[in-house]
Copies of this chain bind each other. A is one copy, B any other.
Amino acid sequence: MTRILVPFRSSDPKTRLAPVLKPSERTALATCLRRDVCRAIRAAGYEPTLLSTESTDADPEIVDDRELSAAVNAHLDPPTAVIMADLGLATPDAITRLLETPGDVVIAPGRGGGTNAIVIRDDTFTVDYHGGSLLDHRRNCDTLDLSLSVVDSYRLATDIDTPADLPELLMHASNEAATWLSDRFTLDTSASRVELRRQ
């Protein structure tokens, strides 16, 4: 069975949402998002392990306060998947598609060249999260002669990270985070792209 790690930074989360959410709201939304991701993983038939910088209410949980790449690499035990805690549109179907895609390494890229979810089935591969991690992970696979598959999923490509990501949650999800958000914001469809308005 593939081990599933869900990395989560608990202190001052979602800083890029500061223009529209207060610190306490960012913490609340981040908590909803990670619970939703863990629920989607469970509904797909897998057991998520939260890899958190501090202890939370999650179980099972590994507490490791190192920076993301170091913490993930320390707990890789292939086959292992690493699924980001802010993939607010993740569904059991999307998770299943990720985990059933063959390949030594399988990546669901994020917009902007991130690695939103990755399945690692080879002991020699390590992660390196930073700007453009997709390109580096691709290069690592070439160097190590590992096969890489890329999953074409909008749901896994969408991390809820900036104000422009919030409408996606209201349009495409009905989970805890979407409910939390819809209690505070409504969709404004008068512009060419859907936007949020605080109630």
Contact = CB atoms under 8 A, between A and B. Distances in A.
Given A94-B152, A153-B154, A154-B152, A168 B135 contact: no
Interface of A: 91, 93-94, 97, 109, 111-114, 130-132, 134-136, 150, 152-158, 164, 167-168, 171-172, 187, 189-194
Contacts of A114: 193
A156 B157 CA distance: 12
Contacts of A130: 192
Contacts of A190: 131
A194 B152 contact: no
Given A109-B171, A109-B172, 6 more contacts: A112-B164, A113-B171, A130-B192, A132-B194, A135-B171, A153-B154
Nearest to A191: B131
A197 B152 CA distance: 26
A103 to B, nearest CB: 15
Contacts of A112: 164, 167, 192-194
A150 B190 CA distance: 23
